[in-house]
Amino acid sequence: MFSFPRMLKVFRDQALQDAFEKDGFVIVPFYTDSEIKELTDLYYRLHPKDEKGFFPSTFSKDLNYRTIADSEIRRVDQRAIDQYLENYKVICGSFIVKSPGPESAMCVHQDMTLVDESKYTGINIWVPLCDLTPTNGAIQALWGSHRLYPTYRHSSIPNFYESIDNEIKPYLETLYLKAGQALIFDQSIIHFSEANMSDKVRIVCNTFFTNKDAKFNISYWNKDFAPNKVELFEQDDTFMTNFEQFGENIADRPKIGKSMGLVDYNFPKMTLEDLHRIYGKPKEELPVKKPLLKRVFESLFQ
């Protein structure tokens, strides 16, 4: 099993880099009003009419939809990306949508492993096109959870917190982003969102990037064939747009990519006692909660 590497610098601003490394996410202004309108119009022009519940554009069976969403979101992103990032490689832009209704809830989760995390970090730029509210599915995150355990993550692999995911929820910080603000987060951060119970669709643009030298590397677990190992698959940079198992059969063995063979995996497990030791008990003051992130955030919005 691998150990966490020292993060490679991707933010131009050192204070943002430090906050990201410490907490696993930062919040910055990202889209202008005109960019928000352009992307909102794009979504309504492209989106499938039968879309419901929680629906990322990467789940769509329509390759044209996936491809245009990817290229157009990347194009609009470029101005802000050039402002904040260096030494990066953008892989995919997509819409992440919550239509109104209880089926739009998203469970406590980490995003799947997409790069070799013994060397690199997979990062999302998650930007709502409307203000987040208590009723439309605001994102919640557990600060610092990106460095609790080195993991391989895939729908076939048990989460290290699966026995306590309900107990984790009180520790999550709800992030009420305004339209156009970006939550830039490490893909291994634990996050969650309630259902969108408003009367409007909640549209988010998500852009995945990583270090410029990173290669795609996804994982899969066959508990019957190799219970103590996971299989790694090398993918090319078109993976996010061309992988058609996102919408269904996501837990199956990947049908594209080159198998790199099996590697040992210790399947870490977090207990309730571990959670209390690291983050304190519910209703107790949590340990040193993001003073640096708070300073960075406030300085950006003065």
Q: Is residue 18 part of a domain?
A: yes
Q: How confident is the model at residue 297 (pLDDT cuts 50, 70, 90)?
A: very low
Whole-number pLDDT of residue 284: 55
Q: Is residue 296 part of a domain?
A: no
User: What is the domain extent for residue 215?
Assistant: 14-281
Q: Is residue 302 part of a domain?
A: no
Whether the pLDDT of residue 247 is over 70: the answer is: no
Whole-number pLDDT of residue 300: 39
Q: Is residue 50 part of a domain?
A: yes
* Phi, psi for 182 (deg, rounded to 5): -110, 130
0.85 surpassed by pTM = yes
Q: Is residue 184 part of a domain?
A: yes
Q: Where are the beta strands (DSSP E) in 114-247?
A: 123-128, 139-142, 173-175, 181-186, 190-193, 202-211, 216-220, 229-235
Q: Is residue 45 part of a domain?
A: yes
Structural domain count of the chain: 1
Which CATH number covers residue 248?
A: 2.60.120.620
Whole-number pLDDT of residue 296: 40
187-200: pLDDT as tens digits: 999 999 999 999 99
